[in-house]
Each structure stands twice: as C-alpha cells, then as structure tokens.
Chain A
Amino acid sequence: MKKSLFVIKAEILKQQRHDYHSAFIWFSLLVWPILGFLEVYYSYKPFEFTGYMGMSNGKELLAFLGTGYMAYTCFWSMVQNAWSMANQERRSGTLEIIFLTPANRLAMCYGKALGALIQEVWMFCCFCLFILIYTGTISFSNLVMLPFIFLLLIISSTVWGGMLNTVFMFSRDASIIMDIFDTPMVLFSGSRIPVSCFPQWAKVLSLIFPLTYCINIMRFVLNVQGRKKWIGDITGLAVCLSVMIAITLLLMRKSEQHNRETGELQFY
C-alpha cells in the first residue's frame, strides 16, 4: 500500500513537472472551455426564461452551465490526458521502461489520472467557482458542501481517467476514444442541455455516462434547477464507478499479458 502511494505521488509530480505552463493545456482546458461556456450562455440568453427546466433568469442559466462545465472539463481532461500522455510515453520509450518496473500498475494508472486532474483543470474550476459564487449558487450557507463536490469530482474523474489510461496502454490506436466520447458526452450528460429535455431514447443513453450522475448530484447539492432527488444518481454513480474499476482491472491484466506476448509497448 505504501509503495502504491509512492507511485501515485510520483505520477502526480511527474505530470506537474511535465505539463507545467504547457500552452496546449492553457488553450484546450481553459481558454477554449471558457469560450464554449460563453457561446452556450449567449445562445440561450436571447430566449425568454419561463422557469422551464428550473431556469427563470440569466443567473440560473449561469449556475446550470457552471456546474455542467466544471464537471465536464474534469472528465474531458481525463480523455485528453490519457491520449496525449500515452502518445508521448510511447514515443519517448518511457512506457516500456515503466512496465519494466514492479510498480503497482493500478496505482500508475490512477496516479496519472489524478496528476492530470490536479494539474490541468484547477484554472477552469476557479473560473466556474467564480461563476457559482457570482450567481449566489455557492454562498456561506452551503460553503460546507464544496469539499464534498471536489471529492465527488476527483473520485469520479480519477476512476474514469484510470480506465481510459488502461485502454490507451492496450493500443496505440485508441485515439478513436477521443471522438467517441467528445460529442456524445457533451450532448447526453446534461452539461449544456438539461437531460429532461431529451426524448426517452436519449435519456437512456445518458445513463451510460458517469458524468451524468456526477452533474446531477452537484446540481442537487447546490440546489441548481431545483432538483429534489439524488438517491438514484448516487446509486447510478456507484454502479458506474464499480463497473469502471472492474473494467480497469480486467484491461490492465489483459494489456500487460498482451504486451508481453507482442512487445507492442515499444511501438508508436
């Protein structure tokens, strides 16, 4: 256990040193999401607010988007980091050297995810927090819920990121995941559009993404959209996280076995 913690710490520090002040991160995980946030906000704003879907003014819309974008960016940074780090590690030959060590593979994957999360999304989270404070969504009365929200985001994103990291270790051609998850995750998770607007088939699809439950729980805790229930979301998230951990364990074992047979970790 102690050794696994060393591995997680090492991965976090490596990410921090490696990506510190990277222009790619500034643009892809701060500037572009802010522009996207503004784009959606100003797309909705000209329409009249009737209280439909729990939004009766501009501030409530901002709170809706602030929570959605904050959670989405955490999850999206995991997809982006899994792809870029796996690519870089393969090119530099370090991926094979990492697998030459006896380090706990699961700790490596979760460490990479956690490192990326801490390093890459804090700036955008600060922006979203500012929005939520400005709109009065976060006030002195519910400030105590902030640690819970952070914990929820950190755990969910890390488990999600760990699974993606194992997928990218399995294959150098896994970049298709970037395309598979980008638009559907944005659309169906309810980060920009309320899930309750969707037809039934889309509502079912939204249940696949752990991000959906994460956003719902955040909105319940911060009383955005006047959500009343959260037990279903907590259960859904727990099931999703358990399934993702199981997939991670299975893929990790299979990918090491596969790479020991084929020697493909050195390919890039």
Chain B
Amino acid sequence: MYSEVKERFENQEARKIIARHLVKDYILKEKKGLFVRRQKKVVHAVKDISLEIPQGKITGVLGINGAGKTTTIRMLASVIAPTAGGLTMNGVDAVKNHLWVKERINMISGGERNLYWRLTAKENLRYFGSLYGLSGAGLNEKIAYLLKIVGLEDAVDIPVERYSKGMKQRLQIARGLINDPEYLFMDEPTLGLDIVIAKEIRKLVLELAKKEKKGILLTTHYIQEAEELCDYIYVLDKGEIIAQGTKDELKELFMYEPQLLIQMKTPDNQRYKEFIRAVDEEVNKDIDIRIEDAGEKIKVTGGTDTWLSVLSLLMKHQIEVAGLSIQEPELEGVLMRIIDQSRGEGNEEKSICN
C-alpha cells in the first residue's frame, strides 16, 4: 500500500479527501406501547453527499439543525461507516482502511466534552498523544508547543474541570493537533464561546489551513464564521447538498447583488412624490427598488447602471439626500434563500450547484 500511496502523493490532485454519493441510514426502533413489539424504522440521515476537502483549504458545511452536518463529518472522519457511497483520502479507500485514515486525521467538536476533566491539560495531551504512538521528549515538546499556540501555557497543571468554556475549547484544539493531522474536522468549534475567544479560534483555524496546509472541514451555525473562513461552502438540507460554491459564487448564483442605500432628507415633500412616481414609471420595470421606513430609505439593487438612473432622477427632481451607502449582501440571507428555494422546489430540482 505504501508505494500506491507514495505514487498518489506525488500527484497534488490526490492530496484531498473525496466523498462520492455518501449515504447514511440508521435503523431506529420505535416504541409503540408496553406490550407492542418495537417497530424498526429506517432514518435517512444523509441521502447523497459528494464533496472534496483539499489540503490547505477550509471547506465549510452549512445547514440548519437536522441538515445532516454532524453525520457527514462523522462519516468523513471515519467514526461511522457510510451505508453507501465512496470515500477516499489521498487516493486510498478510507472506508476499508479506516485505521490508516485515523492516523492522519483528527476531529474537534464544539462544547465541553471529549476531555478528561479530572486530568490536567498536560495529562490529557500526554494520554491522547500516547494513543498515536508518541512518547518521551518528542511528545513533551509537542505538548509544550501546542499549549503555547492555544494560549494555555500558564494553565498546564490545572485540572480541566477548573477551566472556563473557552479554555476547554482551546485544549480541544490542542488535542486535535496532537497527531499533526493532515485533515482536521471541526464540528461547530466556536459553539457557545464569547466574541473574543471565538475570534482567536477563528484566527487559529485560518493559520492551520494557510500556514500549515491542513485540509479543514468546518461545520458551523455562524454564517459570519463561514464567510470569514471558508474557501468553499456546501449547503446541506435534509441530508443533501442543495448548493455549493465559494461565498461570492453563492451570492452571485442567488442574485444577491450589492444594494445602494439612499437616505432621504425630506421624504414627505412634493418633489419627493414626483420622484417616486418617476422611479415607478421610468426605472422600476426590471429592477428592484424598495422604499422603506415611510420613504426615508430607498434600497436599489442591480448594477451601477441602475444606480446611475436612480441618482439622475434624484438630481432631476432636486431631492435632498442625507446619505448614500453601498451594502454588501450577507451570506445568512443567501443561505436562507437557498433553503427556502430548495424546499419550495421540492423534488423538482434537487441540487443547485455552481
């Protein structure tokens, strides 16, 4: 297998995790009553997911609760086996060779679990390091280095139960890096953390991908986080990918263009009313102009040509403007629109891809 892997490594394209048509079904036993036999029910947690995680990039998986994010990440991390579909890591079958895969990956989850609370940070890391076959001075140096980069060098000998939530999360990141993984799976790593700690962790994640060239899969509920970190985003809903692309591609795909926001000075005078009528007659045929807050704000989408038409009408009608600004669309809006659109379309069009 070594020569096979070496050959594939020489090809940069092979340095990625590739999932093809992953499916995960669980069998649930439903309790119907005290004397009624339990019935089996198949739950399709993941229906058909194909994605790639290249090294040196942050791949985002977004979706609302129950979308299948955690099941997907657990399959990719070889914690659970897919019911169907293919999964390769650097060209090697990851389902058959899951122990080989486990040497090269690690997983970090949000929350305070996955650590031994009665042990100190150093003892936790020493234990998990030993499970990867590390020992002696090499392991001690690595522990010291990791505790330094996560900012816990002053709390190494304190039991984890005395740590704050943020400290526990940082220790989890150190644990996730103990085997120097090629790929890191992060399941909502900033869940429940305050802004300052979350920002520090985001910075660290970015450095891991860009400087240390680790392939990172990030699931998150925080759209801002995905927008700031992810190079490529998959949007999941009901166990399927309903959209994918870079954040800009997703915005473009869903026609979320920048908006020109015009703040009016005197929205209730005669000239303003004539301007609104003119906008309706001359401009508002193909583009979206929304008048908000009783006419105080006008939001104009579309390109610069549209904006120029509206501005020339403003000048023509001598409207006094209090302010002009351009608003960039947010990914959150795009995400909600993708999910709404996907659910609205039902089964007619299953996936929207760039």
Complex: A263 Cα to B77 Cα, angstroms:
12
The residue on B at minimum CB distance from A96 is B79
Instruction: Find chain B residues with CB under 8 A from A102 CB.
Output: 99-100, 102-103, 131-132
Cβ of A14 and Cβ of B116 under 8 Å apart? yes
Residues of chain B at interface, number, CB under 8 A: 37
Q: How many angstroms from the CA of A261 to the CA of B74 in the assembled complex?
A: 11
CB atoms of A94 and B107 under 8 A apart: no
Chain A residues positioned under 8 Å from B117 (CB to CB): 92
* Closest A residue by C-beta to B108: A97
**Within 8 Å CB of B126, what residues of A?**
10, 13
A93 is contacted by which of B80, B114, B132 (Cβ under 8 Å)?
Answer: B114
Which residue of chain A is the closest to B24 with respect to CB atoms?
A: A263
The secondary structure that dominates the A interface is helix
Interface residues as binary, A90-117 with B (CB distance below 8 Å gives 1, 0 otherwise): 0011101111111100001000000000
Q: Report how far A6 CA is from B132 CA in the complex, Å.
A: 9
Highest count of chain A CB atoms <10 Å: which of B77, B100, B116, B117: B116
- Inter-subunit contact B132/A101 (CB<8 Å): yes
Q: Are B114 and A10 in touch, CB under 8 angstroms? A: no
Alpha-carbon distance between A92 and B111 when the two chains are bound, in angstroms:
11
Instruction: Name the distance in Å between B66's Cβ and chain A's nearest Cβ.
Output: 15
Q: Is B158 an interface residue (CB 8 A)?
A: no
Given known contacts A6-B135, A261-B81, A101 and B128 CB-to-CB distance under 8 angstroms: yes
A18 to B81, CA, bound (A): 32
Does A3 have its Cβ within 8 Å of any Cβ on chain B? yes
Q: Which of B77, B103, B113, B131 contacts A10 (CB 8 A)?
A: B131
Interface string of A234-268 (1 = CB under 8 A from B): 00000000000000000000000001111101000
Partner of A17, one of B71, B79, B102, B123: B123
Instruction: Give the distance in Å from the alpha carbon of A7 to the alpha carbon of B130 in the complex.
Output: 6
Report the separation of the CA atoms of residues A53 and B296 in the bound assembly, to the nearest whole angstrom. 103
| Contact residues of B between 89 and 140, Cβ < 8 Å to A | 98-100, 102-103, 105-107, 109, 113-119, 123, 126-128, 130-135
- In-complex Cβ contact of B80 among A6, A13, A261 (8 A): A261
Contact B100 A6 (CB under 8 A): no
Contact of A100 among B79, B118, B134 (CB under 8 A): B79
A262 to B71, CA, bound (A): 11
Taking a contact as CB atoms under 8 Å apart, the answer to whether B131 and A103 are in contact is: yes
How would residues 66 to 110 of chain A score, 1 for a CB under 8 Å from any chain B CB and 0 otherwise?
000000000000000000000000001110111111110000100
Partner of B115, one of A94, A101, A103, A263: A94
Question: Is A103 touching B119 in the complex (CB atoms < 8 A)?
Answer: no
Q: Does B145 contact A (CB under 8 A)?
A: no
Question: By CB atoms of chain A within 10 A, which of B74, B99, B127 has the most?
Answer: B127
Question: Across the interface, do B81 and A97 meet the contact criterion of CB distance under 8 Å?
Answer: no
B26 at interface (Cβ–Cβ under 8 A)? yes
A98 vs B178: C-alpha distance in the bound complex, in angstroms? 13
Decide if A59 is an interface residue (CB 8 Å cutoff): no
| Chain B, range 236-289, C-beta contacts under 8 Å to A | none
Instruction: Choose among A3, A7, A14, A97 the residue that contacts B114 (Cβ–Cβ < 8 A).
Output: A97
CB distance from B151 to the nearest CB of A (A): 22
Question: For residue B103, which residues in chain A have a CB less than 8 angstroms away from its CB?
Answer: 102
**In the complex the two chains form, is A6's CB within 8 Å of B116's CB?**
no
- In the complex the two chains form, what is the Cα distance from A6 to B129 in whole Å? 9
B142 to chain A, nearest CB (A): 14
B interface, CB within 8 angstroms of A: 26-27, 71, 74, 77-81, 98-100, 102-103, 105-107, 109, 113-119, 123, 126-128, 130-135, 175, 179
> A9-B130, A96-B79, A108-B131 known; 16 other A-B pairs, CB under 8 Å?
A6-B130, A13-B123, A17-B119, A18-B116, A18-B119, A92-B114, A92-B116, A93-B114, A97-B107, A99-B79, A100-B77, A100-B102, A100-B107, A103-B131, A262-B27, A263-B71
